Structure 1
Amino acid sequence: MIIDRVCEGFSGVLDRDSDVMTSPVHLLSFYGCPSPSDASLSAGSPNYDSDQSWSNAESPQNSLNARRPSRYQGVRVKNTVKELIMLKRHHDIQAHQYPIENECPAIMQALQRAKMEAENLCVSPVKRLRAEDSEILSPCGHIENMFCGTEMLEDIGDVLSKERLSIESVTVRGYRDLCADAESPVYTGCHPLPSVENTHPSSVPPLASGLGLTAAPPVSFFQWQIQHEEEKLAALSHVELTTRDGDGDTFLHIAVAQGRRALAYVLARKMSAVGMLDMKEHNNQSAFQVSVAADQHLIAQDLLLLGAEVNTMDCWGRSPLHVCAEKGHTSTLQAIQKSMQTAGRQVNVEMVNYDGLTPLHVAVLSHNAVVQELFCHGTPPSAQSLALLQKRKQLGECVATLLLMGASLEAKDRKSGRTALHMAAEEANVELLRLFLDQSNCYSVINVKAFNGNTALHVASALQGRQAQVDAVRLLLRRGADPSVKNLENEQPAQLVPEGPLGDQVRRILKGKGAHSRC
């Protein structure tokens, strides 16, 4: 701040180190320069205009100031008020965050002395190391370890002995406080603590073991649910466990149909212990078959681990594989495949239903139905078309999974003798045809005849109104289909092609391939 007027006792000459400085008019005189009002300035000097600007006022006050020998003076402030407040606040924050400095100043002095010695060694020109040894000067190098490991510990030991303190008297943050900070949203540590699910008793930090803390064993949410369900069903007797309702459903069937995995697991484990896990209801379906029909793949996986029977049939003659292939339950089918690989379960992938179809046949027919329905809907996409596309994708994955499980392409249905390749050719299903013809044994089934003597090329050539017919015929010919093979009616594939522009194109492809093969 600037004092407007000072008593005449301060009118003397001030030295440069005093706390009083002149007003802005006499700043030049304070730094050893002549004042603007000095008589040495002449009218022709460069500062003449500025002199006039300071002395143009014609008021009586100005004349009075001109007669008085005193001049304006002020107080020089070293730090502003804002800087003083911020400095005070910084000291308060440090004192609050690090109370150990106030409690044990001797220890802090020992630590600071060791740090200063390490820094002096690193920057000393006499003991400066070479450039290739620069990594030794790192904070984690040998120098800091040497000082921190010997001299600093000795100094701290001397301080503790002089002050008669013990290490337990020093205030430290406990392991529980660290865990609380790690779980809080304001925790910004670089190395967060491991989560509860990944914590193992052997991975407890040394700080926790030193404080006598033990980590709880990892428990998943599913295991926690199982524990609660076991407590609720502890008093359930074997008679109540196998009791059926009017539809023949047990408690396990109802829990599986409702999707209650933990309850179903507890009930299934109890029923497996008494050998009643495969009890069936009025549709001759076990709990595992209910989980397959409801597409509860996690429950199906649990039941398989507990020993549920896979090769079983319901009242319609369907096995669990048939149900998955018909409805496109890819996740459940993959759970069965995983059980085959891990537990070594024997699954009959060639089991036939009452129509004489294997699961692969059922999957191909279901895929053909979706392809035909998409063809009827036309080009403009709709919500139903999107749902059909999703179902076609799931059924295609089921077909691929069945092939991985060992389903045979040479298997024929019991009624007509068709293979899966015949069924895919009936709808000009290029997607499945390409999948089947990419198998290693495709050459052994490409010319297999059905009961009527037709091969897959006969079936594809006789189609009507299928835009993919040309692609299907061309694909079969490229993979080794013989256009000269005759069926029981003594007809070749070219003789079964219908009339029309599309039929003429198919006929030219067949005749060209046939002439090339005869040559």
Structure 2
Amino acid sequence: MSANKGFQTKIPDDDNSDSGFLSGPIDRLPGDPEESQEESKESVGASDSGNVKCDNEQRGDLDSGLDLCMSECLQSLRVSDTPAPLPLEGADIPPLAFLFQQDDDGDTQLHISAVHGCQKSVSTLIRVCPDKYWLDLPNDYGHTALHLAVMSGHAVVARMLVQAGASLGLRDLRGDTPIHAATRAKNVECLQALLAPIDSHRLTKNLASILNLKNYGGQTCVHLAATTGHLPTLQTLVYYGVDINAREGLGGWTALHIAARRGDVRLAQHLLERCAGVAPRARDYAGRTPRRLAARHPAFAARDAQRLFAPSAEDSDTDSDDDDEYDSEDPESLFDKIRGSMATAVVSN
């Protein structure tokens, strides 16, 4: 289901569909043997009990509004590696080609079930899926079922798909992986569902490389977390081994650059004091350090905020001067410097 449709179901109501209400005995054709009244009562009772069971099952899927501790649900969730085979006989089993057939938007039944959080339907589709490739079919917007489960906030469904082998590294049309989508939504539960080890002894393969994938805007997940300023999301990414000093592809900014440019004192303090390995003197593509960007933002004007980026004993005066040499926000001044140095070189020659 595409995100542009607001996650509305694509299955229209059919006026001719069975409502589940027992409307009475069916008229029989002439010549058919008549059933006894006792048999008719037994059939009616069986039908009524079946309807009650169906209603109870449907009510079980509804959200009661209570906090059911999603973390415990994710921890206890297991998808069997060797599911029981389905019976091959019976007209009630639709062909697999129909179940995984894409509609006009490229959505399959798995996309629709994932976006609505239908755990039973997703479990059944995973069980009958003949190849893991079908779990990763993208729709016309590049969204897989895992993308849609995360974007709609269904952490349990996302965990089911991860355990079934759905890929974490597939990109949508703007280059976002499911991890990007969870970070944008500031959904820690979905992020844990994606990144938690499948079992206690085995981590997801190539997790570090997937965590540091860039979208088509040059951003990794840590840059999105720094842009949103959501500390729990950033902490979760750091716990699972994201590169905290990764540079985004456009300006070469690290997460600390982004915090300084946004004037997010709380995030900058967390990065400098709580995240090991953060490079406070990293330079972007214009040669600027986070301290240089923080000096231009009024949020860091207070004394406590200034102390975060105060030069350390290791910083020399030369480094401090170099920090002020380049500034892409003042292109005319930079152009004058370059033109002046070129003129000096011509005169000397």
Question: TM-score, length-normalised on structure 1?
Answer: 0.42
Aligned to 2:9: none
Structure with the bigger percentage of helix: 1
Instruction: Return the letter of the residue paired with 1:264.
Output: V
> What code does the residue aligned with 1:449 have?
R
Aligned length: 240
Which residue of 282, 285, 300 corresponds with 2:140? 282
8 Å CA contact retained: 1:356, 1:414: yes
Question: Is 2:237 aligned against 1:402?
Answer: yes
Give the CA deviation at 1:471: 2.9
Establish whether residue 358 from structure 1 lines up as the match of residue 220 from structure 2: yes
1:35-83 per-residue CA deviation (whole Å, 9 max, x = no partner) reads xxxxxxxxxxxxxxxxxxxxxxxxxxxxxxxxxxxxxxxxxxxxxxxxx
Deviations 1:357-379 (A, max 9, x none): 11100111122xxxxxxxxxxxx
Shift of 1:427: 2.3
- How big is the shift at 1:268? 2.1
How far apart, in 1, do the equivalents of 2:132 and 2:253 lie? Answer: 44
Question: Quick one: which of 214, 234, 240 aligns to 2:98?
Answer: 240
Give the drift of 1:482.
4.2
Q: For residues 423-468 of structure 1, give each alpha carbon's deviation from its aligned partner in whole angstroms, at most 9, with x where no partner exists.
A: 11112322222221122313xx11111111111111111113x266
CA contact (8 A) 1:361 1:419 kept: yes
Tell me whether 1:270 sits opposite 2:103 in the alignment. no
Q: Is 2:156 the partner of 1:298?
A: yes
Instruction: Report the AA paired with residue 458 of structure 1.
Output: R
Partner of 1:411: 246
Deviations along 1:233-292, one digit per CA (max 9) or x if unpaired, are: 961211112212221111111111111111111112222547411111111111111111
Q: Would you say the 8 A contact 1:425–1:460 is kept in 2?
A: yes
Relative distance call for 1:489 and 1:476 in structure 2 (3 A) is closer
User: Which residue does 2:304 correspond to in 1?
Assistant: 471
State the alpha-carbon separation in 1 of the partners of residues 104 and 326 from structure 2. Answer: 58
- Mapped to 2, the partners of 1:400 and 1:481 lie a distance apart of 28
Matched, 1:308 2:170: no
- What is the deviation of 1:416? 1.0
Query: Conserved in 2, the CA contact under 8 Å of 1:425 and 1:456?
Result: yes
- Aligned residue for 1:432? 267
Distance 2:185 2:216 in 1: 17
Within a 5 Å distance, the mapping from 1:82-481 to structure 2 comes to 235-271=93-129, 273=131, 275-339=133-197, 342=200, 343-346=202-205, 347=207, 348-367=210-229, 395-437=230-272, 438-442=274-278, 445-464=279-298, 466=299, 469-477=302-310
Aligned letter for 2:150?
Answer: V
CA contact (8 A) 1:259 1:296 kept: yes
Distance in 1 between residues matched to 2:254 and 2:115, nearest whole Å: 35
> Residue 265 and residue 421 in structure 1: after superposition, are their counterparts in 2 closer, same or farther (change >3 A)?
same
| TM-score (normalizing by structure 2) | 0.61
Contact 1:252/1:267, CA 8 A, preserved across alignment:
yes
Between the two proteins, what is the percent identity of the paired residues?
Answer: 24
Q: CA deviation at 1:298?
A: 0.2
The CA deviation at 1:406 is 1.0
Please give the alpha-carbon distance, in whole angstroms, between the structure 2 residues aligned to 1:290 and 1:409: 27
Structure 2 unaligned spans of 5+: 1-76, 331-349
**CA drift at 1:333:** 0.3
Pair 1:287–1:396, CA change in 2 (3 A): same
- 1:328-373 deviation per Cα after TM superposition (whole angstroms, max 9, x unaligned): 0110001122136644213211100111111100111122xxxxxx
In 2, are the aligned partners of 1:447 and 1:481 still within 8 Å (CA)? no
Larger radius of gyration: 1
* SS state at 1:284 partner: coil
Work out whether residues 153 and 187 of structure 2, in 8 Å CA contact, stay in contact via their aligned partners in 1: yes
One-letter identity of the residue aligned with 1:283:
Y
Q: Cα RMSD between the aligned structures?
A: 3.3
Larger RCO: 1 or 2 (CA < 8 Å, sep 6+): 2
Alignment of 1:57-96 (within 5 A): none
- Structure 2: distance between partners of 1:233 and 1:405: 47
The Cα shift of 1:412 comes to: 0.8
